[in-house]
A and B are shown apart, each in its own frame.
Chain A
Amino acid sequence: MNKYRDLRWAFTTTPPLETLTGGRIARAHRILETHRQADSLLGNWRNVVARVGLHGAESFQVPNGVMPDTPDQVYPLRSVSRVVARMPPFAVLPGHAIKVSALYLPAGLTQKLDGDWQSDGAAGRIDVIVNFTGPAASTKIEKQQLVASNEVYAGESPGAGAAWASLRRVEFPDIFPAKVKTSIADARTWSEGCIAEVSVLYRGGVRCVDLCVQQVPIVYARDVDADTVFSSPLLTDPVGKPLKAYPVQFPIVERTATDPTSGSLLLADVTHRQHTALGPVLCHWTAFAEDSAPIDATQVPSVTTTSTTFVNMLRTSITAHSDDHPGMSLSAGSMSQQFKSSNGLRELRGKDTCVPVRCWAYCSRTGANDAYLRFQTADYSVCELVVTSSSAGWVSAIGHLRAGAHPEDPSVLEVFGRAGGSSTLSLSQVFVEYIDA
């Protein structure tokens, strides 16, 4: 029998625990409440997976108000897509969909080559391609045509503050394989073990201020008679809401030998899984830069090094980790530490945390010698990847990186690389996801 939890407006409410402590009279509603909380937990999260956009750059890739009759190409082609960000095949949180939203300014001109380069009209489109794997393979492509500029040469609106007045937002439909929202059977298939590999592409004169890829909760379903892995105890009614009353007069360990719902055994399994198997994407970086990416580049231009000793891949004058350097952060990982390696009792005594992660890099190297990448959050906290291919692709490794004791305790993630002799190491994407390790 399929049961489901509608997660769209679900979140935990942290009722007082005192009613469950010793010396209190057992009451059914308190048992129900623990199930209700575990059933609501998946609704708590809106994990940011990746961002791409203007992000501090001097100018957009698409020029502003330049006459389009030019000897060289200055505007993008109208019908060729340009990859601006990639995400590796990462584990989607159970019952979550991929959500994409973009802030942008009206799209600029495109060009075509007809003798010399000429205007091909103002147009812009953002494509999001998601390759789902796991229970089955499925590819989803979502496209959003952007409003085009009606200024001269499809430029940006002039005048002080005009960009704020012309700012627009486009929201993509929830991206999830199959008919998850209309078929509980499909929702059940994709609720566990779903892997997503995401690419974001610009086509035409896109002027994106900020594009945000997130995981958002929608629905979680299981066949309670057949499935063995649960991230929610599913003590729910036929419309996916928590039951209003505990269905039996006394606490039970399971409903039947094949139906574990309502019982303490499934609740233990679920809370253990929620505590160990589930965690966020912690960071993503793309080498795409609005003001320097060539207008005809269909892939993200890489940062490179030929150094045979480790250098920071973004700032090659840096050769060793320091908390004073710029970088990304893993501080949010302090919320997803594991008891076995990083709890606040004996293991790390509340002084720090580490988080188990899979570090990904979209990279390649020339020559015959392997190259190495290091993800570091301290001089002692390292995850190392070996780059063995001359073709750009994803490489990953598992590590336990320092995250800081809590979100207000800073951590600085730097990515160092070194090439083999007489070769070049190239890097265009970085991604760090939580993993149960």
Chain B
Amino acid sequence: MTLLHRNSKADTALLLDRDAATITTDLGPERTNLTNVTTYLEEDPSPRAAIDAPRNITIVATMQTGWGGTLIELGNNATYSWRLSVSGDEVFAAEGGLLRVRLPVPGLTDSKVRVVVHWSQHTQGVIVFSELAIYNDATGQWAFATASHSAATPDPDDTLTIGASFGGGSPYSGEADAVLAVHLGRRFHSTTEARQDWVAESTPAAFTGFDRSPALTAAAADLVIAGEGEFAGPSFLMAGAATRQAGQRAVGHFINLDIREPHVELLAPDPVRWYRPTPSGADGWQWCVRYLWHGLLSPKVNVAAVRIHVRAAEVTGGSTISPVRFRAFSIADLPLNGGPDKAMTYYRGPIVSVTSPSSAGVWVELGTVRLARDAEGLSYFALGFLIDADEDEGVLHNTSWKLNAITVTPFAKDLSGGGFGGDMDKEAP
């Protein structure tokens, strides 16, 4: 059985990986190997490499200072369609004789290192955007450059060469042996994808909400199953599935703030008129109008992930503070204009504490809080807090904290027994 390379994707025109097979072996869906011309690799001609934007070219190669030459090229004895080359420790991405974007290799030394060069293009109307990213595997450094330009028309009669230009001209200093991997693709690959494919695959945080991922959709002109004479079912199934996956698509953040000049809070409220006890009545817990927000909520979300960036410190720089505790409150029918119209309702998130000082501040995960809202969808969010003064507070230390940033991101979650929390309808996974 032929194993599918993890980076072989639907758009892949060519995939080489020295770690998986001989470098001439095409591990992509086309399975058409290149020719090894001793010091470089070749395919003559290479119509599959004659891809106009959107397009991806990734080459992983060994580099060191002073090395130069052509990394990969689609060209002939007079011109080239596109080319990635190195000179003066800098990578040049060019098409049809025009330099599109250039970028120094970060952290290059006179020792050989593995370097990922990622040149990917996407389009916006007639404009082509080139993104060039370079990763130094030894130092962990990334470099990035971008440019916009007109489209090019690659020549399908051109020859693909790797490790040199056409006919072995302008050979790369490390020759073909220095080429570790190559990917040519027929769509744009983001730098996020390049990192996942060629640097390290990440492990996302565990999540509790419904997973929403884009479905495969297509315009009717491209979707044969929606046309005359086709089975009626598949196109409706696709539409139904796609609509579900798009349910929270344009909800966005509820609160997403990088605080410009955060106030330093101390044990004593200042000014006292801005503070009130939290409605739970827990001793010492407070709300302050500094940390109060509001807005309309989507009917398709029932909880929110809450993160705050907090700098807790001892005011004179000491190493001990009293615990500073936080919890998120989602509120409906907050009393306004001097009196309650309706009974205020609220949900609380878990209590999370900061127990040690940090001059730079830390992100504090306040977990998920169920969202409260009135009949119109209006909701308030307040940050509850408490400096839980120990016996030395005000004697040996004075605890302070300030809010550097806050994000409250709503999403949909199965709260109990398959239901949607009773807020609106039932949401399916």
Contact = CB atoms under 8 A, between A and B. Distances in A.
Contacts of A279: 249-250
B126 interface: no
B227 interface: yes
B167 interface: no
Contacts of A214: 295-296
Interface stretch (B58-66, B154-162, B285-293): B285-293
A90 to B, nearest CB: 12
A355 to B, nearest CB: 9
A342 B235 contact: no
Contacts of A66: none
A289 B10 CA distance: 49
A280 B228 CA distance: 35
A278 B217 contact: no
B17 to A, nearest CB: 16
Contact of A379 (B142, B209, B275): B142
Nearest to A275: B217
Given A22-B233, A343-B213, A408 B407 contact: no
Nearest to B427: A14
B307 interface: yes
A301 to B, nearest CB: 10
Contact of B209 (A265, A347, A407): A407
A35 B193 CA distance: 34
A143 interface: no
B211 interface: yes
Contacts of A168: 336-337
Given A160-B273, A276-B217, A51 B293 contact: yes
Interface residues of A, number: 140
Nearest to B272: A160
A281 B243 contact: no
Contact of A335 (B193, B244, B248, B405): B248
Interface in B175-226: 187-196, 199, 201-209, 211-220, 223, 226
Contact of B201 (A16, A270, A351): A351
A339 B214 contact: yes
A265 B227 contact: yes
B193 A347 contact: yes
A314 interface: yes
A339 B289 contact: no
Nearest to B428: A14
Given A253-B227, A348-B196, A410-B363, A269 B207 contact: no
A227 B226 CA distance: 20
Interface of A: 11-17, 20-22, 24, 26, 30-31, 33-34, 37-38, 41, 43-48, 51, 53-58, 64, 93, 99, 101, 103, 105, 156-169, 209-210, 212, 214-216, 250-251, 253, 264-276, 278-289, 291-292, 314, 323-329, 331-332, 334-344, 346-354, 378-384, 397-402, 404-410, 434, 437
Closest 6 CB pairs of A and B: A280-B252, A405-B204, A251-B232, A326-B404, A265-B220, A161-B276
28 contacts: A13-B426, A20-B237, A21-B233, A21-B237, A31-B232, A37-B244, A44-B250, A45-B300, A51-B257, A56-B290, A57-B261, A101-B294, A103-B292, A161-B272, A167-B289, A168-B336, A264-B232, A268-B226, A323-B363, A324-B363, A325-B360, A326-B361, A332-B409, A341-B190, A351-B202, A378-B195, A407-B410, A408-B305
